[in-house]
Structure 1
Amino acid sequence: MAVKDSLTYEDVPVEILDRQVRRLRNKEVASVKVLWRSQSVEGATWEAEAAMKAKYPHLFPSDSIPA
């Protein structure tokens, strides 16, 4: 967690714990369960996979999670 000049902080993701694809009407939405540095495993959250890949590509080894 890094404190910024505006006294806000950005929590840093540590690991992707799980992945799911949900069907919503006529499209599929991929989500990943993210373990954050300041949280326990119970505090992990589901986030949009595309957004997490864009912001934190290092969490997605190219051979382990297909796009």
Structure 2
Amino acid sequence: MRGVKLFEVRGKLSPRYIGPYKVLERIGAVAYRLALPPKLADVHNVFHVSNLRKYIHDPEHALLYEQLELQEDMSYEEFSVMIIAREVRKLRNRKIPYVKIWWSNHDDREATRELEETMEAHHPHLFEE
């Protein structure tokens, strides 16, 4: 099984994956046909190998699969959940504060570092204490 890249790139050019889905067949040297759920019936089920991520089977691995609410344009709503870490980077005579943000529908390995000032302006609920 492989995970399928969700059809957009979000912040810092980080690809987001959904899945895993079963590979039905190999088409040519670089394409695969996947068994997609009915919710993704409008999506073409053939993907280039660069859009797939290998799933390594582990019998003790339990997948917590949460169904995404996809909109008509195949996007989904994403929101910031919490601040995981803070850091200050020094550039010559400037200090730039960053926060590491955990996003909904993603695990902590896919957290992103964002400018604290920007996040405080757009997501003030994270800074209320």
TM-score by length of 1: 0.76
**Matched position secondary structure for 2:100:** strand
- CA RMSD after TM alignment: 2.0
Query: What SS does structure 1 have at the residue aligned with 2:128?
Result: coil
Q: What is residue 82 of structure 2 aligned with on the other side?
A: 15
Structure 1 residues 1-67: aligned runs within 5 Å:
7=73, 8-62=75-129
C-alpha distance 41-49 of structure 1, shift in aligned 2 (>3 A): same
Larger radius of gyration: 2
- The separation in 2 between residues aligned to 1:31 and 1:21, in whole angstroms, is 6
CA distance in structure 2 between the partners assigned to 1:61 and 1:22 by the alignment: 23
State percent identity of aligned pairs: 38
Aligned counterparts of 1:3 and 1:57: Cα–Cα separation in 2 = 26
Q: Which residue of 1 aligns with 2:12?
A: none
Alignment: residue pair count: 61
25 and 40 in structure 1: CA distance in 2 versus 1, 3 angstrom threshold: same
Distance of aligned partners of 1:26 and 1:58 in 2 relative to their CA distance in 1, 3 Å threshold: same
1:65 equivalent in structure 2: none
Contact 1:2 1:9 in 2 (8 A): yes
Structure 2's unaligned 5+ residue stretches are 1-67
Contact 1:35 1:41 in 2 (8 A): yes
Tell me how far apart the structure 2 counterparts of residues 50 and 11 of structure 1 sit (CA, whole Å).
Answer: 20
1:53 & 1:13 partners in 2: Cα distance? 11
Deviation (angstroms), 1:11: 2.0
Asked if the contact 1:2–1:11 (Cα under 8 Å) also holds between the matched residues in 2, the reply is: no
